[in-house]
Structure 1
Amino acid sequence: MLTCPQCQSPSTIKYGHTHSGKQRYRCHECGRQFVEHPAHPPIATDTRQLIDRLLLERLSLAGITRATGVSLRWLQYYVNAKLETVPHELPVTPKKRGQLTIEMDELWSFVGSKGEKAWIWLALDRDTREVVGYAIGDRSQKTAKQLWDSLPPVYRQCALVYTDYWDAYGCVLPSKRHRVVGKETGQTNHIERFNNTLRQRTSRLVRQALSFSKKWENHIGAVVYFLRHYNLSLQL
């Protein structure tokens, strides 16, 4: 008896043919469309979970297809769908009002071509090493304001902020809690080290690589996907 591969219901009907001429069926219970003997069977859950982990490493999509055996076309659809659904809020451990210190910096990247710059602005809690805020856009005061607005309220109210000399910071951050420093002081070492981690773990941010983003949505999704995983790993 023919059953639905998704819900195992025997309530199925013929539903036309595929482009290659195979008989297509449709499940009355869940609406799933399928063929009886597919040339490309569904990707196993274990393989999908492996792909989710590999997306957090410095691997191109072509590299992931070689490691998992899935097709590049299927993988591209899978990745696009995953990045579209990534929540844009970062999981940050709740903090009480008091002495908080964050470091801010911006990281160069591009979308489509090097002429389409996509600056990644980050704020890192010096004590917990969590990324507590981010913004992706140009290198203007507008994006600096988006970074500031992305911070949890307790950081905007209490935190001492260390940045480099980029002018946009001074236009947005409270002057009494803003400290402008050079690299030689070591006051922004943690955020600069994290920038390196982000570049090394996210293939589309690696310099001189072919694994760049072609769509802004995917670029933002890939960055946030890693940032969320990074914060959650610190909370274990």
Structure 2
Amino acid sequence: MSAPALTCPRCQSTQVVKNGRIHNGRQNFKCKACSRQFVLNPTKKVIGQDTRELIDKLLLEKLPLAGIVRVTGVSETWLQTYVNAKYDAIPKQVDVWPKKKGGLTIQCDEMWSFVGNKGNKQWIWLALDVKTREIVGVFVGARSRSGADGLWQSLPGVYRQCAICYTDFWSAYEQVIPEFRHQAVGKESGRTNLIERFNCTLRQRVSRLVRDTLSFSKKLDNHIGAIWYFVHHYNLSLLV
């Protein structure tokens, strides 16, 4: 007696073909009629808190999502949904120690990245407190006055009111930062070395920012969320 034909759980079509294997090695099938993919006798897997905490840590290392799937054994679909929700909930503003007015110095710089393809460049604007090493300003956008203004507006008020700001010679800075508190300097001065070093750290720890990578962001919201996730972790690490 021949085995019964496979039917699609969505449309009941028998036009079903094999379509590779899922993350745990089980055979995957695809319906040619409605494109539904499925496995036989699926079992719902509960993702425990220990696995979720491990994923949270792995998101702070230079691992693509595909690598996290291989390490943890979760499905790509579940992981992407989890990451989307996590990045969407990340606060998009800095949380820094209270500061007194006076004696504040920050270093500002911008670094490029891309979303979707290398033709869609996104610039990450950052500001770092020289004394505490905290990241006190973040903005992702164009390398223009609007980007510099986004960084300026992301700074806590005490920095906008009092801080001396060291930057490179990119003209957008002088269009936004008050002249009497802006110092444009070259790399040889050492006045922007801390923020440049942080840029290197960011590229080394966030896989989607590596210059030659297959792990780049497909969605701008996730790109921004991943950057903020690492910045909040970095600032918290300074308290240890």
TM-score, with structure 2 as normaliser: 0.82
Residue aligning to 1:139: 143
For residue 235 of structure 1, give the secondary structure of its aligned residue in structure 2: coil
Q: CA deviation at 1:102?
A: 0.2
Question: Where do 5+ consecutive residues of structure 1 fail to align?
Answer: 1-17, 22-36
Query: What is the CA deviation profile of residues 160-216 of structure 1, one whole-angstrom value per residue up to 9, with x for unaligned ones?
Result: 100000000010001111111000111100000000000000010011010000111
Q: TM-score, normalised by structure 1?
A: 0.83
User: Aligned AA for 2:135?
Assistant: V
Three-state SS of the structure 2 residue aligned to 1:115 is coil
Task: Count the aligned residue pairs.
Answer: 204
Over residues 38-94 of structure 1, what are the superposed CA-to-partner deviations in whole Å (9 max), with x where a residue is unaligned?
Answer: 613210100000000100000000110111111111111111111111111221111
- Tell me which amino acid in the other structure corresponds to 1:148: W
> Partner residue of 1:203?
207
Q: What is the distance in 2 between the residues matched to 1:218 and 1:143? A: 19
Answering whether residue 114 of structure 2 is matched by residue 113 of structure 1, we say: no
- Residue 88 of structure 1 is matched in structure 2 by 92
Query: 2: CA distance between counterparts of 1:134 and 1:209?
Result: 23
Asked if the contact 1:91/1:232 (under 8 Å) is kept, the reply is no
Alignment partner, residue 214 of structure 1: 218
Question: After the TM superposition, which residues 50-61 of structure 1 pair with which residues of structure 2 at under 5 Å, given as runs?
Answer: 50-61=54-65
Partner of 1:231: 235
Q: Distance in 2 between matches of 1:51 and 1:113?
A: 26
Aligned-pair identity in percent equals: 62
2:74 equivalent in structure 1? 70
Question: Partner amino acid for 2:64?
Answer: S
RMSD (CA atoms): 1.6
The offset of 1:235, in angstroms, is 2.1
User: Can you list the C-alpha shifts for 1:130-188, whole angstroms capped at 9, x where unaligned?
Assistant: 00011110001011011111111111111110000000001000111111100011110
Q: Does 1:43 align with 2:53?
A: no
- For 1:148-227, list aligned pairs within 5 A: 148-227=152-231
What is the rounded CA distance, in whole Å, between the counterparts of 1:188 and 1:83 in structure 2?
29
Distance 1:151 1:56, change over 3 A: same
Contiguous gaps of at least 5 residues in structure 2: 1-8, 13-40
Q: Secondary structure at the match of 2:83?
A: helix
Aligned amino acid, residue 90 of structure 1: V
CA distance in 2, matches of 1:167, 1:51: 41
* Structure 2 residue identity aligned to 1:99: G
The one-letter amino acid paired with 1:154 is V
Secondary structure of the corresponding residue to residue 48 of structure 1: helix
Contact 1:106 1:120 (8 Å CA) reproduced? yes
- The structural deviation recorded for 1:19 is 5.6
Other structure's SS at 1:135 match = strand
Q: CA deviation at 1:20?
A: 11
8 Å contact kept, 1:120–1:134 = yes
CA displacement at 1:114 relative to structure 2: 0.7
- Contact 1:105-1:164 within 8 A present in 2 as well: yes
| Contact persistence 1:105–1:191 (CA under 8 A) | yes
